[in-house]
Structure 1
Amino acid sequence: MNPEDSDHVFREWQQDADGVWNRRAARTIAVATDGTPSGHGGGRGAADAEVLLLRGVDVQDPSHTWWFTPGGGIDEGESARAAAVRELFEESGLRVGLDDLVGPVAVRSASFPYFGRPCRQDEVFYYVPITGHNDVHTGGWTAVERASVTELRWWRLCDLAGTSETVYPPALPELVRVLVTDGWDGTRLTIS
């Protein structure tokens, strides 16, 4: 895909009067555990938990990379929960049901450059415990994802918490630790 094909890249975005492109998005915090996927604690210890992340790359500056959770835009008429399930499958091959998602556990509004344009994305995050360790694949990636994402892999939480690499959202390691250790308490956090 040609990164300059802005009509294709931004087909699901809306441009505000201020020139910023925006969309609503749903993301998953997929965590491999040894317990049952209840979202209420138990199972693998927090240090051994593994979080599924993708490595993004700035198509304008390939030296600028970061890690982020699976997810993407919410289609017209689609619920945030359904979008999270769809995006997780498209980006990783993992199949989960709507009832497997816990939350939403967090929300955030993020501003960032994307394919050379200023963007704002309002995101809702769901926690999804994955029993055992599951193989993932990139066969469902779109042309846009193939141009802007270079890797998909499981991160051990202890490694994620100690990395010098950029991770979005920055609060992710602590949020995962709490979810794995204590479960979700029903509070939807606003994170940056």
Structure 2
Amino acid sequence: MSPSGEVLLLCDQDPGRPGDLRWGTIGGEVDAGETHQQAAVRELFEEIGLRVGPERLTAAFHRDEREFSYDGRLYLGDSTFFGLALPRDVEVSFEHLEEAEVGNVFEARWWTPEEVRADGRLVAPDLPEIMTLAIAAVAQHERNHA
């Protein structure tokens, strides 16, 4: 989250549906032996090239399960969300994407919940609400660690 209350989202596509672009959070699966927090730190590096310590993350503020399809296969996702305060001018790099993500992740952009709702290209219909929870979690984390 930026100091002005925006959330950094990624624009990607499902390789099974080329050209169907959608905005979503940074994240991915938990590898064997990892905690959700360790996976979040790893995914930040893989997806935007950012190295941070786990202490910079908020406590988990949201969890959900949902079915989704990717590259023609159906999955049951179990998502745990963390927040992270970032400067708006943070340098983003796609150099460390996993092989399956190369060519399917296109852009990182700062959004308010209202802006992304108006855009309508959401990876999940409740993305704006999750963003609002992230903003509150980061604000609380910053107050607790000031």
TM-score normalised by length of structure 1: 0.64
Is 1:105–1:184's contact at 8 Å kept on the other side of the alignment? no
Residue 130 (structure 1) shift: 1.2
Is 2:82–2:134's contact at 8 Å kept on the other side of the alignment? no
1:86 to 42, 52, 67: 42
Residue 132 (structure 1) shift: 4.6
Gaps of 5+ in 2: 142-146
1:140 to 83, 93, 96: 96
Greater helix content = 2
Q: SS in structure 1 opposite 2:11?
A: strand
Q: SS in structure 2 opposite 1:87?
A: helix
Q: Which amino acid aligns with 1:59?
A: P
Runs ≥4 residues deviating over 4 A: none
Q: SS in structure 2 opposite 1:160?
A: helix
What is the match of residue 2 of structure 2? Answer: 32
TM-score normalised by length of structure 2: 0.82
Alignment of 1:2-151 (within 5 A): 31-33=1-3, 44=4, 49-151=5-107
Change (3 A) 1:51 1:127: same
Pair 1:176 & 2:131 matched: yes
Greater strand content = 1
What is the match of residue 144 of structure 2? Answer: none
Q: RMSD between aligned alpha carbons? A: 2.2
Residue-pair matches, total: 140
